[in-house]
Amino acid sequence: MQGPETAAPMHPAPAPVWALPFGVMLWAVAVLPAAVPRLWHRRMGTIVGLGVSALLVPLALVHGPAAAAALAGRALLGRYLPFVSVLFALYAIAGGVRVAGGPWGRPAGNTLLLGLGTLLAGLVGSTAAAMLLIEPLLSANAHRRHRRHLVIAAIILVGNAGGALSPIGNPPLMVGYLAGVPFFWPVRHLALPLLLFSAPFLAGFWLLDRRHARADPAPPLRRPLRVRGAGNLALLALVACAVPLQALVPLGQLRFGGVTAPLGGLLAAAFSLAAGLVSLRLTPRAIHRRNRFSLAPMREVAVLFLGLFVTIAPVLAMLRAGAAGPFAPLLALAARPGGAGVPALYFLFCGMLSAVLDNAPAWLVFFGLAGGDAPALLAHDPRLLAAISAGAVFWGGLTYLGNAPNLMLRAIAAHRGVRMPGFFAYSGLAAASLLPLLALLGLVFFR
């Protein structure tokens, strides 16, 4: 989670050549799991280490070891540690909740579960909702041969779009709240876009799931809905509340070895780690066994994001440089000749950047281009602010990198026997369902 200081002016942007290690990391994520799966899973840590070294070693040679250490420290303490600790807590806690029975496992029930998960994402956050939903969704459909469409739909709806309803739902909306956007502004201005997006998506999902269900084995007899792990649900609520609250309470900065990190983020990270460990310790083994719970997906995602968070740092600096950085030609296209922003282009460009980069910095860049003044935007051009916010939230499902839950859901599903598509195949499938809906949102709300 980024604080409002992220919007502060940056020093001159790094040269584009410093983005090459991040490009190599993206290439590795996109190509190697499908091309050489055994090598990737056995040597992923080594590959990630080489990608990080490709940035830090040249940086140390050109700018000195202190510069390389500072970049790595900021990435690890300021961004990676808070992120991965919360992800670990949510994964561990959700793995201790057992949902059995109920209407899930049939097309109507699966559609209902995805709809409920979409609404839940606005209350507890897209990551928490996704971690809570994936186990009952996969368990209820264990009899099915066709299951990857279930995970893709969960990524798009629960892991991304559902977070549009509140600042708790998605990081860019929390950044907006910290920048002066009222707490209930998203639900007032993004609820209709979410409805227009999710209703036809769920209808299309139901038709696709019904077609697959006809070719799959018959579902088991329906049993009453039972939920075990109430203590983990309480822990989940605590973590979901603690993460946004730490950004609202100014606790100052902690300086460690020349690196400054927000104290609130570090305390939230410590709390999240403790909550996850408590859940692992107290959850009965029978629940973990029936959920087929394993820490392997968490380890895989933690290693992968370590490389991404370090190597993306120069790219984010280029992005935050705005009109003074390498992204200037792209950003200039989003403004009219007089300087006023074009909502449809803000929606498009912010969405495109959010699909492959961190959505919170993308929101901040376009918010800054729109003037960086929340009260003024709310008074004179609320459509522009809505376009920026919708772009940051709704486009995240377009790639595995668009939001934190995407890779996590993919890893969990793969470890439970679902043959998930590779990076490019997923993006193609997501684009086929997402782009018509995103074009519809642009035409209805932002043209």
Place of tokens 């604080």: 3
- Output the pLDDT for position 134: 92
pLDDT confidence of 338, banded at 50, 70, 90?
A: low
Q: Give burial (CB, 10 Å; 0-12/13-18/19+) of 98.
A: buried
Residue 6 has pLDDT above 60, yes or no: no
CA–CA separation, 120 and 270 (whole Å): 25
| Mean pLDDT (whole number) for 186-195 | 95
Residue 3 has pLDDT above 60, yes or no: no
**In-domain check, residue 260:** yes
- The tokens of 71 are what? 């970049």
| Mean pLDDT (whole number) for 233-238 | 86
Range with the poorest average pLDDT among 192-196, 341-345, 427-431: 341-345
Q: Could you read off the pLDDT of 168-184 as tens digits, one per residue? A: 888 888 888 878 889 89
The range of the structural domain enclosing residue 367 comes to: 17-446
Q: Could you read off the pLDDT of 23-61 as tens digits, one per residue? A: 999 888 888 888 888 898 889 999 999 999 999 999 999
**In-domain check, residue 412:** yes
Residue 16 sits at φ, ψ, to 5 deg, of -55, -25
* Residue 265 near residue 5, CB atoms below 8 Å: no
- The tokens of 104 are what? 């899930």
**In-domain check, residue 3:** no
- Output the pLDDT for position 376: 87
Ramachandran assignment for 229, one of left (phi > 0), alpha (psi -120 to 50 degrees), beta (any other):
left
- Output the pLDDT for position 264: 75
**In-domain check, residue 1:** no
Place of tokens 């522009």: 384
- Output the pLDDT for position 178: 75
| Mean pLDDT (whole number) for 64-76 | 90
**In-domain check, residue 6:** no
Place of tokens 């007032």: 188
The one-letter amino acid code at 381 reads D
Q: What is the mean pLDDT of the chain?
A: 87
Residue 2 has pLDDT above 50, yes or no: no
Q: Which of 402, 408, 389, 405 is nearest to 430 (CA)?
A: 402
- Output the pLDDT for position 12: 63
Q: Could you read off the pLDDT of 142-152 as tens digits, one per residue? A: 889 999 999 99
* Residue 413 near residue 420, CB atoms below 8 Å: yes
Radius of gyration for the alpha carbons in the chain, expressed in angstroms and rounded: 21
Q: How many domains does the chain have?
A: 1
**In-domain check, residue 5:** no
Question: Per DSSP, what are the bridge partners of residue 256?
Answer: 259
Q: What is the 3-state secondary structure (H, E, C) of the chain?
A: CCCHHHHCCCCCCCCHHHHHHHHHHHHHHHHHHHHCHHHHHHHHHHHHHHHHHHHHHHHHHHHCHHHHHHHHHHHHHHHHHHHHHHHHHHHHHHCCCEEECCCCCCHHHHHHHHHHHHHHHHHHCHHHHHHHHHHHHHHHCCCCCCCHHHHHHHHHHCCCHHHHHCCCCCHHHHHHHHCCCCCCHHHHHHHHHHHHHHHHHHHHHHHHHHHHHHHCCCCCCCCCCEEECHHHHHHHHHHHHHHHHHHHCCCCEEEECCEEEEHHHHHHHHHHHHHHHHHHHHCCHHHHHHCCCCCHHHHHHHHHHHHHHHHCHHHHHHHHCHHHCCCHHHHHCCECCCCCECHHHHHHHHHHHHHHCCHHHHHHHHHHHCCCCHHHHHHHCHHHHHHHHHHHHHHHHHCCCCCHHHHHHHHHHHHCCCCCCCHHHHHHHHHHHHHHHHHHHHHHHHC
**In-domain check, residue 7:** no
**In-domain check, residue 11:** no
The predicted model scores a pTM of 0.85
- ∠ CA 394-75-261, rounded to 5°: 105
Question: Residue 288: CB partners within 8 Å, gap ≥ 6?
Answer: 95, 96
pLDDT confidence of 240, banded at 50, 70, 90?
A: confident
Q: Which of 322, 326, 316 is nearest to 341 (CA)?
A: 322
Residue 249 has pLDDT above 70, yes or no: no
CA–CA separation, 90 and 127 (whole Å): 8
Q: Could you read off the pLDDT of 380-409 as tens digits, one per residue? A: 888 999 999 999 999 999 999 888 899 999
- The tokens of 78 are what? 């300021």
| Mean pLDDT (whole number) for 95-110 | 88
Q: Which of 357, 363, 409 is nearest to 117 (CA)?
A: 409
